[in-house]
Chain A
Amino acid sequence: MNPIDTLLVANRGEIARRIFRTCREMGISTVAVYSDADASASYVTEADQAVRLPGSTAAETYLRSDLIVSAALRVGADAVHPGYGFLSEQAAFARACIAAGVTFVGPSAGAIEAMGSKLAAKALMAEAGVPLLPGADVTGLDDDAVRALADGIGYPLLVKASAGGGGRGMRTVAGPADLPEAVASAQREAAAAFGDATVFVERLLVDPRHIEVQVLGDRHGTVVSLFERECSIQRRYQKIIEESPSPAVSEPLRRQMGRTAVAAAAAVGYVGAGTVEFVMDSDGQYYFLEMNTRLQVEHPVTELVTGLDLVRMQLLLAQGEPMPTEASAAVISGHAVEARLYAENPRDQFLPQTGTVDTFEFDPILGLRVDSGVEAGSVISPYYDPMVAKVIAWAPTRSEALSRLSGALSRARIHGPVTNRDLLVGILRDPEFRAGQTDTGFLTRHSPGELGLPLGPDSEKLHVAAATLALAMRKRAAATVQETIPTGWRNNASQRQTVTWQVQDSAHRVAYVFVRGVVRLGVDDEDLAGVVLHGVGPDRVDLEVEGVRRTYQVVIHGDSDHCTAHVDSPLGYCRLTREPRISLTEAAASPGSLTAPMPGTVVRVAVATGDAVVQGQPLLVLEAMKMEHTVTTAHDGVVRVVAARVGDVVDGGDLLAVIDRHDDLAEAG
């Protein structure tokens, strides 16, 4: 027995807060570590003590095993919880903790290593009788050898990083032609993300289900299954909706998968919480995918259906206690579903978004749990995973749980960077999803852009109209003369006042006029019919249009002339940006200029000044929030300027390169 009095969480954000919560309940003192970018994050102030990790990138901070171990020693922590991601599956880190006399809340370094190498794990699992997909290691092989191996396995196949996880270092390959580039880029990404370029190829099941089993092991050889989670709704191999139980798993299958998972864990002498992941085809045949030797992001759904606190279980098991009876006797009760709220734009290739979260509010509803790393005022930085929160709902039945979650998400007030909220709501309300047809191809069959359409065009019009009225009141409230004179009063009205709003990719122009207390409203040159303004203030508009009265909550930030407005109503949410009344006339950017589409780090520059380039040719690669974005040229030409070097950290809009068109050159010549 090695009791834990002080726990350091070697992680950040949502999971750090989640672990601290259990610690407080258990009377354990908490320690946070934080990078410079996280200096004002909520989890840092919530911890009893915190230790700074200088720098902002993950490599400088949360991946620095040495700094974290010394932090633990400095504050006298007797245990370290790695959370998920970062060092959670690094055997060396587990080993370093133990060497320093600090308990590592997780399995042994040996178990991590055994499961960490996907290739080695597969061999081990084969021995334990766990079903596997055909695959092969391609490390160090030349293209021809890789191709030969791949031909043996058959297409389509998947290139995966042996040390990978979370979809990083993973590529799908449809046929032999794409293979070399896929292997190369997976190796590059794997090397950058995990420091290990080992990749392997594996038979790809087309649109399988992703089903995983939660296991717990104690130090006395007991391993139990806490049933499955279905995590098939993914985008770019990143799970976004998870639930338990799976609508595709029958009770006999559940028992069978549980036994398989327990066997898999037992094969590596697993201690603590872990997850055995399977892919399952439509016939219910399942194959071992990998084992995650840590607490999963989606662990709350298991907690809600079993009533267990998995972090508590982890801490008890790490102290050497035998498997608690509530774990070995656990049963599934009701249904839980989790949605991961990301600051990303599903309508623009899921590009991560950064910025300040201005409002973050969920109605308090029974059966709803929000595990969030942010609150109003938090900043989403470009350095880490853009997950904002996990929203989890429990209900007696799946259908009720889905409704509860979609309702809560749609009514939530989340203002700031674009999120995938509307997509999540769209998925949860989709008939196919509701029918339980949830394989990994779901978001290929359904366009995320359409499914996550924030508002219909008509609703958008109502929202811009409401925002305009609220803005007018805001301006009136700020007036320093004639404060009580009616808004926009004219004795010879020549035109309506206009405000143009940018909504996602479109613009709406609202024209309005107040005449003796009655408002006339037009959006995009079309008058709204049956407009009755029942009440209006700078933050609330009670507006009736065509016989339907709704209240719009409006939050406006910034200077009224170029403000951002967040509008929530029963129709949904949208974020509006005002186009300034008078745009500054500026010198136009030189033609052919390529600017950074987002903040990030330049990881590769593929061209040099003077190079001839053709349309679509990659010029450089930008890494932002762990994803690579290739910047290509929109037209043929010659590289005149390369303004970025490898390693440069650029802001969105920064100039990266200038390409002269051939016709420009001809003119100049």
Chain B
Amino acid sequence: MHVLNDRVDRQAEGFQRNRAELLRDLAEIEDLLATTLTGGGEKYVERHRQRGKMLARERIELLLDEDASFLELMPFAAWGTEFTVGASLVTGIGVIEGVEVMVIAHDPTVRGGTLNPHSFKKVFRAMEIAKENRLPIVTLVESGGADLPTQAEVAIPGGRIFRDLIDHSAAAVPTVALVFGNATAGGAYLPGLSDYVVMVRDRAKVFLGGPPLVKMATGEESDDESLGGADMHARRSGLADYLAEDEADAIRIGRQIVRRMNWRKLGPGPTELPEEPLYPADDLLGIPSADAKIPFDPREVLARIIDGSRFDEFKPLYGSSLVTGWASVHGYPIGLLANARGVLLSEEAEKATQFIQLANQVDTPLLFLQNTTGFIVGRAYEEGGIIKDGAKMINAVTNSRVPHLTVNMGVSYGAGNYGMCGRAFGPRFLFSWPNSKTAVMGPQQLAGVMSIVAKQSAADRGLPFDEEGDARMRAAVQSQIEREQTALANSARVYDDGIIDPRDTRTVLGICLSVIHNAEIRGQRGYGVFRM
């Protein structure tokens, strides 16, 4: 068992510069998070409160076990769009009566809790996480349904929510709907397809068609309460299993339902000593390079994340641009793959392939710490079969069955993103550090490539090359990529599950590992491990 050393020079200029830049990025993130707390804005929050209602986050806080964690997911969804940041939903993983649960709460202060295309992306991802990790789902319902102006984008795909709910239930993972307000028309199927339904007296409104629609359809005179009130559903339709006296009562009942789920996690519990790392997490502000061109030693990051800073490196002398090895986080054993010098060569790809197979053989989850500029290019490497070797790594990542966690610490470019288990490769969770970047390649490179291609094309056609126009194009492309590659831009598109403070990495990973262990942990079987 090897304990990592501390080689960080906290006084170094680079460390200080990295730290300053990261703190600046964090401040921006913090400010943005602060705006999410006011939902649809002060005016709507005030109106909501005047109705004697709790905000979505207040409902969640009361629902969760005191002093336990809540990992909010995808808080930046819809950032930079016409829609409110957070996409009128609050979702995350919390602990209720000792059970890790996926909580999905509508934020009725944002356009009445209506769901736009970003909201659907967020819900789909939340339900995917719940499904993969076998988490019960508790939905706090108060939504006007689909955002009608975007119905073309949401109405048809939106049905997936209902299919997922049923799948979830069929997979023996309970679903609970606590209905605080509107759940009408299509939204009525949210309680309609949940295993347990709680409705708040005089508040819940659950019907397929409201009084005007009923009047138009059949001429029947009716009102909200008789058509879809909580009392009616509890006593007559039977859609409500529990009638709650008020919001707090609904939450109390929700907790009671979870307590009675007789929930058993299928994964093994933590098996290693969950000692704190030997070195302060605060250093994680100064270690990752602000300048993407400067690599940093991922062991320094590991030394501040893993239990007791204990790391047993695998194949340390081979393919040294990728660090692989074994460690544990909060007592959960993990296999680690971390980029050391950005680029992936054939050796690194093969080492990764072998290591991923080893982890599958012993059912150990994998953590990918990304800081990769991609696979190497160049004649010698092409001749050496870098595509084949990269393909092996991507193949191994794809067919690996142990849970994967991915954290982007720096850059994640090109096919390196694939090999290092980017979003498309279905890691159970993917988080980004605030300064990280994800794109097909760096902005300068991309602009340069486009310029060269254009120049070539002009030469091929014998046309004069517009140098000024090219410079403008390069500048425009570069700035576009710079905007698009940021953590925030990617998080807005739900290409990650959130941006985290590097100092929280150990905590976030610990929560994720605990969550992952709700499901069985079992690696791919079939072939023996291929030596590379």
B133 CB to nearest chain A CB (Å): 13
Tell me whether A582 and B98 are in contact in the complex, defined as CB-CB below 8 angstroms, given that A472-B67, A489-B507 are known contacts. Answer: no
B146 CB to nearest chain A CB (Å): 26
Q: Interface stretch among B1-9, B435-443, B508-516?
A: B508-516
Contact, CB under 8 Å: B95 / A490: no
Task: Give Cα A581–Cα B274 distance, bound, in whole angstroms.
Answer: 31
Task: Give Cα A479–Cα B99 distance, bound, in whole angstroms.
Answer: 10
Contact, CB under 8 Å: B98 / A495: no
Using CB atoms, name the residue of chain A closest to B250.
A582
Task: Give Cα A494–Cα B60 distance, bound, in whole angstroms.
Answer: 10
- In the complex, which of the residues B33, B501, B507 has the most CB atoms of chain A within 10 Å of its own CB atom? B507
Q: Does B68 contact A (CB under 8 A)?
A: yes
List chain A residues, Cβ under 8 A from B281. Answer: 516
Contact, CB under 8 Å: B514 / A481: yes
Tell me whether A497 and B37 are in contact in the complex, defined as CB-CB below 8 angstroms, given that A481-B100, A484-B510 are known contacts. Answer: no
Q: Interface stretch among B241-249, B356-364, B387-395, B468-476?
A: B241-249
Using CB atoms, name the residue of chain A closest to B244.
A585
Per DSSP, chain B at the interface is mixed
Q: Does A647 contact B (CB under 8 A)?
A: no
Contact, CB under 8 Å: A494 / B98: no
Using CB atoms, name the residue of chain B closest to A585.
B245
Q: Does A347 contact B (CB under 8 A)?
A: no
CB < 8 Å neighbour of A485 from B33, B99, B249, B511: B511
Q: Does B467 contact A (CB under 8 A)?
A: no
CB < 8 Å neighbour of B66 from A486, A490, A491, A581: A581
Q: Interface stretch among B70-78, B216-224, B445-453?
A: B70-78
Bitwise, A470-485 to B at CB < 8 A (1) or not (0) is 0010011001111011
Q: Does A488 contact B (CB under 8 A)?
A: yes
List chain A residues, Cβ under 8 A from B251. Answer: 582
Contact, CB under 8 Å: A488 / B72: no
Contact, CB under 8 Å: A495 / B66: no
> Which residues of chain A in 434-484 are interfacial with respect to chain B, using CB atoms and an 8 Å cutoff?
472, 475-476, 479-482, 484
> Which residues of chain B in 266-298 are interfacial with respect to chain A, using CB atoms and an 8 Å cutoff?
270, 274, 281
> Which residues of chain A in 526-585 are interfacial with respect to chain B, using CB atoms and an 8 Å cutoff?
560, 581-585
Tell me whether A482 and B95 are in contact in the complex, defined as CB-CB below 8 angstroms, given that A491-B71, A497-B67, A582-B62 are known contacts. Answer: yes
Tell me whether A585 and B330 are in contact in the complex, defined as CB-CB below 8 angstroms, given that A489-B69, A491-B71, A494-B37 are known contacts. Answer: no
A193 CB to nearest chain B CB (Å): 48
> Which residues of chain A in 473-523 are interfacial with respect to chain B, using CB atoms and an 8 Å cutoff?
475-476, 479-482, 484-492, 494-495, 497, 499, 516
Q: Does B186 contact A (CB under 8 A)?
A: no
List chain A residues, Cβ under 8 A from B504. Answer: 489, 491
Contact, CB under 8 Å: A482 / B514: yes
Using CB atoms, name the residue of chain B closest to A516.
B503
Using CB atoms, name the residue of chain A closest to B513.
A482
List chain A residues, Cβ under 8 A from B246. Answer: 585
List chain B residues, Cβ under 8 A from A492. Answer: 33, 36-37, 72, 75
- In the complex, which of the residues A489, A497, A585 has the most CB atoms of chain B within 10 Å of its own CB atom? A489
Task: Give Cα A262–Cα B66 distance, bound, in whole angstroms.
Answer: 69
Tell me whether A484 and B274 are in contact in the complex, defined as CB-CB below 8 angstroms, given that A495-B57, A582-B251 are known contacts. Answer: yes
Task: Give Cα A38–Cα B61 distance, bound, in whole angstroms.
Answer: 46
Per DSSP, chain A at the interface is loop
Tell me whether A482 and B69 are in contact in the complex, defined as CB-CB below 8 angstroms, given that A491-B500, A492-B33, A585-B249 are known contacts. Answer: yes
Contact, CB under 8 Å: B62 / A494: no
A221 CB to nearest chain B CB (Å): 74
Q: Does B252 contact A (CB under 8 A)?
A: yes
Task: Give Cα A503–Cα B62 distance, bound, in whole angstroms.
Answer: 23
Using CB atoms, name the residue of chain B closest to A494.
B57
Q: Does B498 contact A (CB under 8 A)?
A: yes
Total number of B residues with any Cβ neighbor in A under 8 Å: 43
Contact, CB under 8 Å: B66 / A482: no
Using CB atoms, name the residue of chain A closest to B307.
A484
B150 CB to nearest chain A CB (Å): 25
List chain A residues, Cβ under 8 A from B511. Answer: 482, 485, 489
> Which residues of chain A in 43-74 are interfacial with respect to chain B, using CB atoms and an 8 Å cutoff?
none
A474 CB to nearest chain B CB (Å): 9
- In the complex, which of the residues A476, A487, A488, A492 has the most CB atoms of chain B within 10 Å of its own CB atom? A492
List chain A residues, Cβ under 8 A from B57. Answer: 494-495
List chain A residues, Cβ under 8 A from B501. Answer: 491
Contact, CB under 8 Å: B37 / A479: no
List chain B residues, Cβ under 8 A from A583. Answer: 248
B270 CB to nearest chain A CB (Å): 8
List chain A residues, Cβ under 8 A from B325. Answer: none
A560 CB to nearest chain B CB (Å): 8
Using CB atoms, name the residue of chain B closest to A478.
B98
Bitwise, B67-97 to A at CB < 8 A (1) or not (0) is 1111110010000000000000000000100
Bitwise, B178-195 to A at CB < 8 A (1) or not (0) is 000000000000000000
Contact, CB under 8 Å: A487 / B67: yes
Contact, CB under 8 Å: B68 / A488: yes
Task: Give Cα A482–Cα B68 distance, bound, in whole angstroms.
Answer: 8
> Which residues of chain B in 233-264 are interfacial with respect to chain A, using CB atoms and an 8 Å cutoff?
245-246, 248-249, 251-252
CB < 8 Å neighbour of B61 from A475, A479, A494: A494
Contact, CB under 8 Å: A482 / B72: no
Using CB atoms, name the residue of chain A closest to B510.
A485
Contact, CB under 8 Å: B62 / A484: no
A216 CB to nearest chain B CB (Å): 62
Contact, CB under 8 Å: A485 / B69: yes
Contact, CB under 8 Å: A497 / B72: no
Task: Give Cα A472–Cα B69 distance, bound, in whole angstroms.
Answer: 13
Tell me whether A479 and B248 are in contact in the complex, defined as CB-CB below 8 angstroms, given that A491-B504, A492-B75, A582-B62 are known contacts. Answer: no
List chain B residues, Cβ under 8 A from A516. Answer: 281, 503
Contact, CB under 8 Å: A488 / B249: no
Task: Give Cα A5–Cα B100 distance, bound, in whole angstroms.
Answer: 68
Contact, CB under 8 Å: B100 / A476: no
List chain A residues, Cβ under 8 A from B210. Answer: none
CB < 8 Å neighbour of A490 from B70, B270, B514: B70
Using CB atoms, name the residue of chain A closest to B97.
A480
List chain A residues, Cβ under 8 A from B249. Answer: 582, 584-585
Bitwise, B139-178 to A at CB < 8 A (1) or not (0) is 0000000000000000000000000000000000000000
B267 CB to nearest chain A CB (Å): 11
List chain A residues, Cβ under 8 A from B36. Answer: 492
Task: Give Cα A368–Cα B58 distance, bound, in whole angstroms.
Answer: 53
Tell me whether A475 and B252 are in contact in the complex, defined as CB-CB below 8 angstroms, given that A484-B330, A490-B72, A495-B58 are known contacts. Answer: no
Q: Does B331 contact A (CB under 8 A)?
A: yes
Using CB atoms, name the residue of chain A closest to B33.
A492
Task: Give Cα A582–Cα B246 distance, bound, in whole angstroms.
Answer: 11
Task: Give Cα A241–Cα B245 distance, bound, in whole angstroms.
Answer: 53
B394 CB to nearest chain A CB (Å): 30
CB < 8 Å neighbour of A497 from B66, B71, B330, B500: B66
Contact, CB under 8 Å: B514 / A495: no
Task: Give Cα A495–Cα B67 distance, bound, in whole angstroms.
Answer: 12
Task: Give Cα A487–Cα B55 distance, bound, in whole angstroms.
Answer: 23
Contact, CB under 8 Å: B72 / A491: yes
B65 CB to nearest chain A CB (Å): 8
Binding site for A on B (CB under 8 A): 33, 36-37, 55, 57-58, 61-62, 65-72, 75, 95, 98-100, 245-246, 248-249, 251-252, 265, 270, 274, 281, 330-331, 498, 500-501, 503-504, 507-508, 510-511, 514
Binding site for B on A (CB under 8 A): 472, 475-476, 479-482, 484-492, 494-495, 497, 499, 516, 560, 581-585
Q: Apart from A482-B100, A585-B245, what are 6 other A-B pairs with CB-CB below 8 Å?
A: A479-B65, A484-B510, A489-B504, A491-B70, A491-B72, A582-B251
Q: List 25 A-B contacts (CB under 8 A).
A: A472-B67, A475-B67, A476-B67, A479-B68, A481-B95, A481-B98, A481-B99, A482-B69, A484-B330, A484-B510, A485-B511, A485-B514, A488-B68, A489-B70, A490-B69, A491-B71, A491-B72, A491-B508, A494-B61, A495-B57, A497-B61, A581-B66, A584-B249, A584-B252, A585-B249
Smallest CB-CB A-B distances: 6 pairs: A585-B245, A494-B57, A489-B69, A480-B98, A492-B72, A582-B252
